Amino acid sequence: MLFNSYQFIFLFLPLTLLGFLVIARKSRELSIFWLVLASLFFYGWWNPVYLFLIIASMLLNYLFGWLLGGKGAYTERQRRWILGLGITLNLSALGYYKYAGFFIENINVITGVDFNLGTIILPLAISFFTFQQIAYLVDAFRGITREYKFLHYALFVTFFPQLIAGPIVHHKEMLPQFLTGPSSRKIIENLSIGITIFAIGLFKKAVLADNAALYASPVFSAAESGEMLSFFVAWGGALAYTMQLYFDFSGYSDMAIGGARMFGIKLPLNFHSPYKATNIVEFWRRWHMTLSRFLRDYLYIPLGGNKLGPIKRYRNLFLTMLLGGLWHGAGWTFVVWGALHGFYLIINHAWHRVRKFMAANDSPASSAAKSISWAITFVAVVIGWVFFRATNFSSALVILEGMAGFNGFELPNAVMARLGQLGVLLRDLGVGTYLGGGTQFVLTYLWVIPLTLIAVLFPNTQQIMSRFEPALSPYHHPESDNHSITLTLPLKWSPTGRWAAFTALVGTLGVLALTSVSEFLYFQF
């Protein structure tokens, strides 16, 4: 079941919420049981068979967590073996369902054999609930958290607003909220905040992201078929996908936070205007923040982090991003995307090291310097998204060749004819023309340019709702003021009739745009 579906919006969500509010008045434990049943139903809507997988995964990890939480029952060596076995079993299940086909395909190419495992259907959200439970096992081993009731643990894993595509939450973040629950006097406040955030997210997904997809998909399909793309067409497609992915993931994150808030639960912030970043480090502080946190705490730091000298630090950064790319999908294009961001981070850290060595002035950057840094970062991110979206290397290279101008600079003849003297100047500069495609070209940039301005300059949902702390983990990086660009606008939500009308408008537009249900892009990961 998808957030952006009639079944979810008009049946599942209101019925689940109503049942929760009624039951919670009588019994907290029964309300938790109700949410677990509803969440399992939500997950099983896609394919009931895989309910057995997620339930078995929960039972197994709960057992390992119980063993790890028993202080004094096992020696340190035994506890390490228990943790290692638990992580191995989790990664084995993930590896089979997500990577076995990819591995066998590459073995067949190398050896020339034709071995086939048959069709393996990727279970929904397996990457998310696997990483979430690995984090729980590690935290249990460290003594950070313990779980006494399977029912509570089941809700931690399956809570439907964050089950499918994150955020990746920690047990210590969620359990106190599940056990405490919302106070009766805050129910109306939680509902109004949650509905507003959910409506904004639905608008982002159904109106903005899905319309941007109309101008990204044809370009990537043309590249896949081997068609040569000129400069403006290639950039139009790449930017359209860049905006599609942004508003798709931002929309999902808002809908997850809004949906959880209706139940009085605050989820961690997972998305915070990443296209405002003026360096790649800042980008990863703002994009898929809970995945970045997981990779930092459970991979980068255990590898040694930045404590073993610059060379090993760069190695750790590269390996972390390489595995982060592979987490997103079983394909070499995802590996290259992760490797690219590994190189980006190495270059960024090396540059700051050089600046420090040269005793460069650390005063706040000028507006011009920020703009240049932003442009470099943004272009680097867009180049990475080409590999992220492309189905294979050849189609990615076709788009990148077009973006680099290798296939020339051309505009639709109808567009050029309407540019007047500017058109004459462009012809003199070597810009050619082609017949047809004028409407598609114009509509592409009519979508791309405003969406880019919104993503880069406007406040995001969390900033608009900041007076009411919509997320569990607000974004606090004091140095970020020097590493992002933004436009200050007086947009602060409050429970007034004007904001209620705004919520009704964007929610209605979002529902009306649901002519065809499209999956969120991060569902495939």
3-state secondary structure 154-189: HHHHHCHHHHCCCCCCCHHHHHHHHHHCCCHHHHHH
d(CA 2, CA 519): 7
Measure the CA–CA gap between 212 and 214, rounded to whole angstroms.
5
Listed residue (384, 396, 284) closest to 337, CA to CA: 384
| Per-position b or e across 329-363, b if 16+ CB within 10 A of its CB | bbbbbbbbbbbbbbbbbbebbeeeeeeeeeeeeee
Nearest partner of 219 among 202, 201, 238, judged by Cα: 238
Those residues of the chain that have pLDDT short of 50 are 479
The alpha helices in 262-408, defined as continuous H runs, are 280-286, 289-295, 310-328, 332-357, 367-389, 393-403
Report the DSSP pairing between strands 410-412 and 432-434. Answer: parallel
pLDDT of residue 456: 92
Report pLDDT for 184: 67
What are the helix and strand counts (H, E) for the chain?
24, 2
Residue 236, pLDDT score: 95
- For residue 312, give both structure tokens: 């090993």
> Which amino acid belongs to residue 18?
L
Q: Give the pLDDT score at 475.
A: 60
Alpha helices per DSSP H over 5-144? 6-7, 13-24, 28-44, 51-69, 76-94, 100-111, 126-141
Which residues are designated catalytic? 328
What is the amino acid identity at position 441? F
For residue 168, which of 282, 262, 288 has the smallest C-alpha distance?
Answer: 288
Q: Determine the Cα–Cα distance for residues 313 and 525; give it in Å rounded to an integer.
A: 27
Quote the pLDDT of residue 218. Answer: 93
Predicted local confidence at residue 54, as pLDDT: 94
3-state DSSP call for residue 484? strand
Eight-class DSSP state of 418:
T
Q: Are 410 and 237 in contact (CB under 8 A)?
A: no
Q: Quick check: helix, strand or coil at residue 290?
A: helix
Instruction: Identify the pLDDT of residue 308.
Output: 80
